Amino acid sequence: MKPTIALSIVVPVYNEEKNLHRLHEEITSACRKLDRTYEIILVDDGSRDGSLGVLRSIQASDPRVRIFRLRKNFGQTAALSAGFDNARGEIIVTLDSDLENDPNDIGLLVAKIEEGCDLVCGWRKDRWKKHFFSRRLPSLTANWLISHITKVRLRDYGCTLKAFRREVIQNIKLYGEMHRFIPAIAATIGVTITEVPVNFRPRIHGKSKYGISRSIRVFLDLLTVKFLLSYSTRPLQIFGLMGLISGAAGVIIGLVLSYQRLFMQVGIGNRPLLLLAILLMVVGFQFVTMGLLGEIMVRAYHESSEKRIYVVREVIESEPSETE
């Protein structure tokens, strides 16, 4: 079992060489104020500038720093996952390496964890005040959409500054662009989530890694998250419902056409509705079949991997007596 410490700071790094020394100084200063044992995990996500050299010099001067260098740019989700897998802290805090997140807010998030919360999310309340239509409005729309679909109400899903209890993040598997959906995924295991305002600072060095292509990937991952949250253990309920609706529509159209042919002597052989009715019934049958196959796959997955469909937070029991 890995030795544990009080606090792990996980930071994904990609082409941020000009920000790293100041980032390390600010994180160190913030952690020292907390008077707790800590480590700083810097995950180099395939940087192509001089970030690795800067990271090596930082680690050489501070033994609390641990560097994990990925073989290529796998993305922020993968970098965070690598940090989570190797973190030894009882509390794990994540933040960006571009200095837009303020390390001085780490203490605020840790305090909320110690008050009893399981997951604390940063809310960049004053972000994009001067760019309402180009930045703030799209951000508000995206956060509203994610909150509406996942049913986990947060005002800033995109803020990397978050704090987790160790046992929370250990039960979450990440892939794609799903790091921003961690609160929604964590909500399925019954964690306590809160959101606190944090400081937002404009970028000084480097370029933003966000663009329209990432927005598209995030939207597709949102659909995946919605499916996983609602139907991952019961796929027949979604595919079966779609199949029943499609099949019922096909049957109704078919009955109407049959009535017209038998009792009204209306020809239906060359009518597109006949083909539509047949198509809807076939598609309905396929959806129901997909749902049944999904049920078989889910059952095989849970039984073969012995993966439970619940997560135990705490065990409270009496110690066995010597006579038992």
Q: Give me the pLDDT at residue 114, please.
A: 93
Residue 105 · residue 22 · CB < 8 Å = no
Model pLDDT for residues 201-259, shown as the tens digit of each residue = 877 776 665 555 556 777 777 777 777 777 777 888 888 999 999 999 999 999 999 99
Q: Give me the pLDDT at residue 145, please.
A: 83
What CA–CA distance (Å, rounded) separates 118 from 165? 5
Q: Give me the pLDDT at residue 112, please.
A: 95
What CATH number should be reported for the domain whose range is 5-231?
Answer: 3.90.550.10
Q: Give me the pLDDT at residue 316, please.
A: 37
Sketch the domain layout of the chain as residue ranges.
5-231, 235-304
What CA–CA distance (Å, rounded) separates 20 from 67? 12
Residue 8 · residue 36 · CB < 8 Å = no
What CA–CA distance (Å, rounded) separates 73 from 93? 22
Listing DSSP states for 221-239 in one string gives HHHHHHHHHHHTT-HHHHH
What CA–CA distance (Å, rounded) separates 299 from 233? 8
Q: Give me the pLDDT at residue 1, please.
A: 45
Closest CA to 158 of 188, 117, 133, 128: 128
Q: Give me the pLDDT at residue 230, please.
A: 74
Closest CA to 176 of 260, 87, 78, 110: 78
Bridge-based pairing state of the strands 65-69 and 38-44: parallel
Mean pLDDT by 10 residues, the chain (324 residues): 79 93 96 93 91 93 92 89 91 94 95 94 77 66 82 87 92 78 85 92 69 64 76 82 94 93 85 92 94 84 61 50 53
